[in-house]
Amino acid sequence: MQICGVCALGLAASLAVARNITFVIISVGLCCLLAAFGFAYRHKVLASASTLLVSLSSMLFALAVTGAGLFDIAVLGYPTMIIFAAILGGVGLFLSLLSFVILQCIFIAWLSLQGIITPNVPSISWPHLIFILVIFIVTGFSVYILVRDIKRLMLSLHHENQKVEQSRTRIQHLAHHDNLTNLPNRLYGEALFNQSLASCETTGKSLALLFIDLDNFKPINDALGHAAGDQLLKLLTQQLSEILMPQQYLIRFGGDEFLVIAPIAPDSDELNQLAHSLILQCASVFNIFQTQVTVSASLGTANAPKDGTDFKQLCRKADIAMYKAKQDGRNTYHHYDESLDKASENKFKMLQLLRPALSEQQFELHYQPIVELQSGDINTLEALLRWPQPDGSMIPPDLFVPLAEGSGLINELGTWVVRQACQFCAKLRRQGHPNIRIAVNLSVMQFKDGQLQHTVESALYEAGLPPEALELELTESLLIDETEQIQQQLASLSQLGTTIAIDDFGTGYSNLVYLRNFNATKLKIDRSFISPLCFSKHDESLVEAIINMASSLGLKTVAEGIEDEVTLQKLISLGCDIGQGYYWSKPLPEDALAAFLMNYCAETASLKLSSSD
Ligand code: C2E
Ligand code: MG
Ligand code: MG
């Protein structure tokens, strides 16, 4: 295209001046053109364009000066050159060429006006017209082709832009939504929260965060596989979305955790109702790959602006409240209040101190006697953990044992308890209580690593005790997590000769039937049923029913938390076999317990003696 333009200019020039000098000018011009092509061949685009345009304009100038001045056909080549300069070069080349052309025209006009040159206007002929038309056609087509290319370029650029825009939107969607459920993710959740908070400020509503955590998602994932877990989450998302209003948002927080953002009218019961219906929705039956699956959820709420306005802080608070709901037995909800925060802060501090306490052997075992109600004999002592503090106080096991369980320290701690308790039992046996036995509490976590039997055997061996000297207390919750692995371990432990007692009976599922599977020999009725025994007919009949059922299954019953004579007599009349409680003694440290045991045995021996007289 450029070559055609140049040829046309050359032709125009040659027609404009048909003299010898014209030939020389055109020859010089063509040499310059060759130089321009040389540059172009070596990809020196700017040098080539500059040489081409400067030489052409000089050639046109020379032709005009030697020909018809400003009326020379050569002048027609100027606009074409300016167009090429604009297209091929930068702003610099374009402006310099334009100025150069203007100066040349002014100069030619000045030369003519001063009479220095005499324009020689040729008479018009058909070849002139043809050459003028050739110039126009070539220039016109060149510009047309250029503009068409530019238009094409613009169109493809527009398409590219659209594609980029589409993928930008997609990337933004992916970055803001969860892949599996297509719900807004935590990041986008924060933006939605801030938006909702701003509109709540104008409407006078408060903004609630409801933190939902599924209670038993992991076992489903483990048992049915991840695909089933994913399916469950999708179905649950559908179910939860259905009950939400337009201003309420459901967010996938991660794993099996969801968050609901909901504006709440002041002084209304909306929050309770919403929490309640979310929990109900989670507790539905889901059909996953032809299997009926049920889950439940624990839910915690926090409220803006009451509990703060920062999204992350509120999430943390709702999470703390959710944990409280879990502690309250799951499948329920709890609202955040400051006391929960304090408790979790204390827990965190305690957790930090737990590991060094274990390595520095700060823990102690206290022992509480367990008494045969008919004979009054103490055959067993229960070992109970204590954590003495520098100020002389003791942290009770209810506070730190769950932390040790959560942090994985319970195995180490539990091993220490079994060994220490066995050592103390052996010591008492050597001190004149040859049949005394020891009961230790076990946590479910101690069954997880499969080391329990080894721990028990080596503790007994080190202390030189027979397996019958050891009783293992398991809570009902451990039996609910009934797995074959636990059952096997318990079977081999009872085969060894250690006995098994079910602790805190009545606080969990209280299903006597599964006790058989665990080779238990004793049932410890929880303190909460024993303390009100004398005032509550209901508790009395409950305790009586437990005792009767246990005896029909061949299990002995132990009443926990006997504090007075009246309760003791009531339990004896109901047929309870064994008792434990402050009535005889609080849990005592080793020396105090040894002294207590000595006195107690002496007293009961003399009582028995006097009653036999
Ligand atoms: P538990 O096994 O049911 O222990 C009985 C709890 O009742 C003990 O509380 C004991 O001090 C208390 N108690 C006994 N008689 C009475 C009474 O007449 N009145 C009142 N008010 N309380 C009485 P403690 O020592 O605070 O232990 C609490 C729980 O901590 C234990 O309940 C047990 O589940 C757990 N625990 C204690 N030591 C260990 C341990 O070494 N390992 C594990 N995994 N858990 C332990
Ligand atoms: Mg116990
Ligand atoms: Mg108990």
**Pair (246, 390) in one structural domain:** no
Amino acid at 503: D
State the pLDDT at residue 12: 46
Residue 611 lies in a domain: no
**Pair (92, 145) in one structural domain:** yes
pLDDT at 26 over 60: yes
Non-local (6+) Cβ contacts of 29 within 8 A are 10, 13, 55, 56, 58, 59
Residue 435 lies in a domain: yes
Residue 87 lies in a domain: yes
pLDDT at 5 over 80: no
Question: For 532, phi and psi rounded to 5 degrees?
Answer: -85, 10
How far apart are alpha carbons 446 and 473 in whole angstroms?
A: 12
State the pLDDT at residue 533: 87
Among 280, 304, 336, residue at a domain's last position? 336
Among 286, 312, 336, residue at a domain's last position? 336
Total domains, the chain: 3
Higher pLDDT, 274 or 5: 274
Question: For 369, phi and psi rounded to 5 degrees?
Answer: -70, 145
pLDDT at 2 over 80: no
**Pair (25, 108) in one structural domain:** yes
**Pair (216, 106) in one structural domain:** no
Higher pLDDT, 306 or 29: 306
Asked whether 5 lines ligand 1 (CB < 6 A), one says: no
| DSSP characters over 303-344 | EETTT-S-HHHHHHHHHHHHHHHHHTTSSSEEE--HHHHHHH
Cβ pair 304, 310 in contact under 8 A: no
Amino acid at 5: G
**Pair (209, 246) in one structural domain:** yes
**Pair (255, 392) in one structural domain:** no
**Pair (324, 361) in one structural domain:** no
Best of 403, 505, 560 to mutate for ligand 1, by most ligand atoms within 8 A of CB? 560
What is the helix (H) or strand (E) element at residue 397, kind and residue range? Answer: helix 397-407
Among 150, 174, 196, residue at a domain's last position? 150
pLDDT at 206 over 80: yes
Q: In this predicted model, what pLDDT tens digit does every residue of 531-586 receive, in sequence order?
A: 888 887 888 888 999 999 899 888 999 999 999 999 999 999 999 999 999 999 99
Find the domain containing 234 and state its range: 186-336
pLDDT at 230 over 90: yes
CA 386 / ligand 1 centre spacing (Å): 10
How far apart are alpha carbons 495 and 457 in whole angstroms?
A: 12
Question: For 26, phi and psi rounded to 5 degrees?
Answer: -65, -40
Six token digits for residue 57: 């304009």
**Pair (145, 215) in one structural domain:** no
How far apart are alpha carbons 330 and 327 in whole angstroms?
A: 7
Q: In this predicted model, what pLDDT tens digit does every residue of 132-150 receive, in sequence order?
A: 887 788 778 877 877 888 8
**Pair (280, 356) in one structural domain:** no
Q: In this predicted model, what pLDDT tens digit does every residue of 387-427 receive, in sequence order?
A: 999 888 899 998 899 889 888 899 999 999 999 999 999 99
How far apart are alpha carbons 544 and 558 in whole angstroms?
A: 12
Minimum mean pLDDT among 59-63, 121-125, 167-171: which range? 121-125
- Over residues 448-460, the mean pLDDT reads 93
State the pLDDT at residue 15: 44
Six token digits for residue 87: 């297209």
385: domain CATH number is 3.20.20.450
**Pair (316, 277) in one structural domain:** yes
Q: At what angle do helices 186-203 and 311-327 cross, to 10 degrees?
A: 100
**Atom nearest to 473 CA in ligand 1:** 2
Residue 19's SS3 state is: coil
**Atom nearest to 562 CA in ligand 1:** 18
Query: In 3D, which of 6, 81, 88 has the Cα closest to residue 47?
Result: 88
State the pLDDT at residue 486: 82
State the pLDDT at residue 44: 82
Residue 341 lies in a domain: no
Average pLDDT for the chain: 88
Non-local (6+) Cβ contacts of 272 within 8 A are none
Asked whether 397 lines ligand 1 (CB < 6 A), one says: yes
Query: In 3D, which of 245, 154, 145, 264 has the Cα closest to residue 203?
Result: 264
**Pair (217, 143) in one structural domain:** no
CA 585 / ligand 2 centre spacing (Å): 15
pLDDT at 482 over 50: yes
Query: In 3D, which of 153, 252, 244 has the Cα closest to residue 212?
Result: 252
- pLDDT bin (cut points 50, 70, 90) of residue 20 is low
Query: In 3D, which of 421, 451, 454 has the Cα closest to residue 438?
Result: 421
How far apart are alpha carbons 522 and 557 in whole angstroms?
A: 6
- pLDDT bin (cut points 50, 70, 90) of residue 202 is very high
CA 147 / ligand 1 centre spacing (Å): 91
How far apart are alpha carbons 41 and 527 in whole angstroms?
A: 100
Q: Whose CA is nearest to atom 22 of ligand 1?
A: 561
